[in-house]
């Protein structure tokens, strides 16, 4: 197993300091090497919190996360995060944004240049190396953010609503590109999404959470061949099942 999540519980202090708000409740999960797994559930149920605990950005109150048998205590370069809002440096070009992590890691210029060139070709941004973020579309910015993660050769790619702010056409295009990318690279992917169709299109398994405090409601295996047909009966059946679960969870939570 690439990731073993054991009995994770997490709470945050309420805004009025009146006590603790439980977010995650005794979450346990095993994720296989090179598996693509999605977390879906009602807004605020703790999906992104769990992703940040896997990344080492948050510490649980109880429980543990292990990556390749090593407990997660802090962020490491073998676990890279891609956020919804790109988090690019506006004063840096595409190639310099992609190279930032490698420079911070102290890699030499020849290695950095080679990896950045590879990443730009991988995400299809040839010709935009010298462009700045304000000159790019939303989809291109997200490609830069993904490339910046990939040059670090991560074992685990963590994605928090990476396509949530994009239009439908760009979103579907990048989803297809992500499928191809995952087939080329040997890493494990964890995706947080509110989009049930996106989850079915991309995932090997889908973890459906209840409302906060989150528990695992169901784990769905998606045994459909890739590339997946979004309008097939089998695809729609899985998508609608997820919608029924998340809608029920939201109603129960309210």
What integer pLDDT is reported at residue 197 of this predicted model?
Answer: 96
Domain with CATH 3.40.50.300 in the chain: 3-78+156-253
Pairing of strands 3-13, 156-160: unpaired
What integer pLDDT is reported at residue 94 of this predicted model?
Answer: 95
Q: State whether residue 156 is helix, strand or coil.
A: strand
Find, among 105, 144, 100, the residue nearest to 122 by Cα. 144
CA distance 254 to 237: 26
Pairing of strands 156-160, 188-192: parallel
Query: In this predicted model, what pLDDT tens digit does every residue of 27-44 receive, in sequence order?
Result: 999 999 999 999 999 888
Q: What are the tokens at 209?
A: 């959470």
Q: Angle at Cα 107 formed by Cα 96 and Cα 174, nearest 5°?
A: 45
Q: How far apart are the first and last CA of the chain?
A: 36
Query: In this predicted model, what pLDDT tens digit does every residue of 109-133 receive, in sequence order?
Result: 999 999 999 989 888 889 999 999 9
CATH of domain 3-78+156-253: 3.40.50.300
In this prediction, residue 212 has a pLDDT band, given cuts at 50, 70 and 90, of confident
Q: What are the tokens at 234?
A: 């089998």
pTM: 0.89
Asked if 231 and 41 touch (Cβ cutoff 8 Å), the reply is no
Average pLDDT in the 145-151 region? 90
In the block, residue with structure tokens 């994720």 = 31
């Amino acid at each position: 197993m690439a990731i073993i999540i054991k009995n994770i519980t997490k709470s945050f202090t309420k805004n009025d300091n009146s006590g603790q708000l439980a977010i995650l409740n005794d979450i346990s999960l095993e994720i296989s090497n090179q598996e693509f797994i999605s977390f879906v559930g009602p807004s605020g149920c703790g999906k992104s919190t769990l992703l940040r605990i896997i990344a080492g950005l948050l510490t649980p109150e109880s429980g543990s996360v292990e990556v390749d048998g090593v407990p997660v205590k802090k962020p490491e370069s073998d676990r890279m995060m891609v956020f919804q809002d790109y988090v690019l440096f506006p004063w840096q070009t595409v190639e310099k944004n992609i190279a930032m992590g490698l420079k911070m890691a102290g890699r030499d210029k020849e290695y950095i240049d080679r990896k950045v060139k590879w990443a730009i070709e991988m995400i299809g941004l040839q010709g935009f190396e010298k462009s700045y973020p304000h000159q790019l579309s939303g989809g291109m910015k997200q490609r830069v953010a993904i490339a910046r993660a990939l040059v670090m050769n991560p074992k685990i790619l963590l994605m928090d609503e990476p396509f949530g702010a994009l239009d439908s056409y760009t979103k579907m295009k990048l989803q297809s590109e992500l499928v191809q990318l995952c087939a080329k690279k040997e890493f494990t992917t964890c995706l947080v999404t509110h989009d049930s169709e996106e989850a079915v299109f991309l995932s090997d398994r889908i973890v459906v959470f209840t409302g906060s405090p989150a528990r695992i409601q169901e784990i769905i295996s998606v045994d459909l061949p890739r590339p997946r047909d979004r309008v097939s009966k089998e695809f729609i059946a899985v998508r609608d099942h997820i919608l029924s679960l998340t809608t029920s969870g939201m109603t129960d939570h309210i």
